[in-house]
Amino acid sequence: MTSPTLPDLPRLPDLVDSHCHLDFPDLVEETAEIITRARAAGVNRMVTICTRLKNEPKVRAMAEAHPEVFYAAGIHPMSAHEEPPVTVDQLVAFARHPRFVGIGETGLDYHYTAETKAIQQTSLRLHIVAAQETGLPLIIHTRDADEDMEAILSEGMKQKPYTCVMHCFSSGPRLAEAALEMGFTLSISGIAAFPKSQALRDIFAKAPLDRLILETDSPYLAPPPFRGKRNEPSYVAHTARALAPLFGLSLEDFAARTTANFDRVFPRATQPAKAA
């Protein structure tokens, strides 16, 4: 007696959410459910980002509790004036943890907090030194600060090379070109899937494919069809599906390429333990 033929099951893409905030109020109460939904969408790993160092123990505990989750820590530029000044020693100490995979997010944000630009710049430079000392990638947030951002990143690169991810990249072509020239990686968020983001898609289309990774920045910036709602790591699959045709790739191939890029930029974020 022959066995019945089973239907072909859809092959899930192998995706990574390189930047989310699982400790933020919109997500923290549903961590297990969010991870389950992410895996169901093919998102098998995620990096949760600590933006205030006082929250590092809580964020670290999330990474320790869930094999799919890794973490990074730094001081967000919009909070730099409210937080105790970061030290290189603090960041280097965090980097000793095996699930700590990046320095930041840090950067410059002149959109809402231009009056604190001097504090932001000092904080950014300290994060750069920590990335140089640890060999871990710097994770950059930038908004309305392209000229200063290019200058400070370039200044640091001349002192000692380091790796860097331009998180949720939505700046102009000049900063994209400068970042790529320095060997950095651009991270694609749900913004790139918005209908009016053609200029941003053009920037990504001109970038080498091996310099692109994916993220959600959840709980913010949900891609269509969830725009305006709470974002979560599983939605990176929607961004990937929207962007894959830009490169003439299937979802599965685009996922494989961006995941390989993530593995190269974040070598500590190895595959999660297999579910029992």
84-99 pLDDT, tens digit each: 999 999 999 999 999 9
Comparing 9 with 10, the larger pLDDT belongs to 10
User: For position 270, what pLDDT does the model report?
Assistant: 82
Assign 45 a pLDDT band (cuts: 50, 70, 90): very high
Q: Which two tokens stand for residue 220?
A: 């913010």
C-alpha pair distances (Å), 34 with each of 20, 60, 116, 206, 233: 11, 17, 35, 33, 7
Assign 184 a pLDDT band (cuts: 50, 70, 90): very high
**185-188 and 212-214 beta bridge pairing:** parallel
Size of the chain in residues = 276
Q: Of 144, 148, 211, which Cα lies nearest the Cα of 181?
A: 211
User: For position 199, what pLDDT does the model report?
Assistant: 97
User: For position 1, what pLDDT does the model report?
Assistant: 34
Strands of the sheet with 185-188, listed across from one edge: 15-20, 43-50, 69-73, 100-109, 138-143, 164-166, 185-188, 212-214
| Residues above pLDDT 70, as percent of the chain | 94
Type of residue at 210: D
Q: Does 7 have pLDDT greater than 80?
A: no
Cβ 59 vs Cβ 79: under 8 Å? no
Among 3.40.50.300, 3.20.20.140, 3.40.630.10, 2.60.40.1180, name the CATH number for the domain at 15-265: 3.20.20.140
User: For position 12, what pLDDT does the model report?
Assistant: 79
Assign 189 a pLDDT band (cuts: 50, 70, 90): very high
**100-109 and 138-143 beta bridge pairing:** parallel
Averaged pLDDT for residues 246-258: 96
SS3 29: coil
Q: Packing angle between helix 173-181 and helix 146-159, nearest 10 degrees? A: 10
- Could you list the beta-strand ranges (E) of the chain: 15-20, 43-50, 69-73, 100-109, 138-143, 164-166, 185-188, 212-214
Assign 152 a pLDDT band (cuts: 50, 70, 90): very high
Global confidence as pTM: 0.93
Q: Does 122 have pLDDT greater than 80?
A: yes
